């Protein structure tokens, strides 16, 4: 039996195991299983891999950056992004990849309709790094907004003005705020300045409409959640997992 899984914490909100189970059924794959492995600390990863003969695993918050220290090789794209969301066993070693950016960039096109608006990325973690890489690949100008305001060029939430939001019409929530079960949390942007010209993209997919997206919809903005991103990155992940089985 080929075993795969997901690490992160918490994982009760994740649809990954259900997605892979449905894909296995649909494709008639009977020799593969995918399970959630919630880790209270990334330091638990070596023991998990020693106990479970995984061929590959996905990585979600809060370990997309920290997991890199536990892998033997990092794919150049993941190295540039500075985050890993997929690791594949290669013999006795592990190699990390990032396919989040593919899921993000491909799904974003349905929201923007081919436009290239200036974008604000809300958050500065691994998901935000993948979003920034995806926007670069799409040729979109972007800036990052973070509570910690670490790094050159990163804006604080207090710096968001009406004029700035007129310039940056695409807002991307790359934080976990609003994820089930804490569904009423949302990034602290000035929603009163949103207009029907704005587009709000939330990497969170559970619930389908977060408070962030609801506030955007109420302002007349176009909105999209992260479900399609999840599906695309899962598809790309499976391609990598298959390479480990050959």
Reported as a single tens digit per residue, the pLDDT across 139-186 is 999 999 998 766 667 899 999 999 999 999 999 999 999 999 999 999
Q: Which of 88-102, 113-127, 144-158, 232-246 has the lowest mean pLDDT?
A: 144-158
* pLDDT of amino acid 151: 63
Which are the catalytic amino acids? 64
Specify the pLDDT at position 49: 97
Q: Which residues of 23-59 are buried (b: 16+ CB within 10 A; e: fewer)?
A: bbeeeeeeebebbbbebeebeebeeebeeeebbbbbb
Beta-sheet strand order (sheet of 86-90): 32-38, 2-8, 54-59, 86-90, 93-97, 73-74
pLDDT tens readout for residues 14-55? 999 999 999 999 999 999 999 999 999 999 999 999 999 999
Q: Is the pLDDT of residue 82 over 80?
A: yes
Higher pLDDT: 114 or 195? It is 195
pLDDT at 246 exceeding the cut of 80: no
- Quick one: pLDDT band at residue 244, thresholds 50, 70, 90? confident
Q: Report the pLDDT value the prediction gives residue 149, as an integer from 0 to 100.
A: 62
Let me know how long the chain is. Answer: 246
């Amino acid at each position: 039996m080929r075993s795969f899984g997901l690490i992160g914490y918490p994982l009760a909100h994740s649809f990954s195991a259900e997605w892979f189970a449905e894909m296995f059924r649909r494709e008639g794959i009977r020799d593969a299983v995918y399970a959630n492995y919630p880790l209270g600390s990334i330091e638990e990863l070596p023991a998990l891999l020693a106990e479970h003969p995984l061929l590959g695993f996905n990585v979600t918050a809060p370990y997309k950056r920290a997991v890199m220290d536990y892998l033997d090789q990092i794919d150049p794209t993941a190295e540039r992004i500075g985050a890993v969301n997929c690791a594949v066993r290669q013999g006795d070693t592990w190699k990390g990849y990032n396919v989040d950016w593919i899921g993000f960039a491909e799904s974003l096109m349905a929201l923007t309709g081919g436009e290239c608006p200036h974008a604000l990325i809300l958050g500065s973690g691994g998901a935000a790094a993948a979003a920034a890489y995806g926007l670069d690949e799409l040729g979109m100008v972007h800036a990052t907004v973070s509570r910690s305001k670490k790094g050159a060029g990163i804006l604080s939430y207090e710096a968001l003005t009406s004029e700035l939001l007129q310039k940056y019409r695409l807002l991307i929530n790359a934080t976990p705020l609003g994820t089930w079960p804490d569904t009423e949390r949302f990034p602290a942007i000035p929603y009163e300045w949103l207009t029907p010209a704005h587009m709000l993209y939330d990497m969170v997919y559970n619930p389908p409409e977060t408070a962030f997206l609801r506030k955007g919809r109420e302002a007349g903005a176009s909105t999209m959640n992260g479900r399609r991103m999840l599906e695309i990155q899962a598809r790309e992940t499976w391609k990598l997992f298959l390479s480990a089985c050959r």
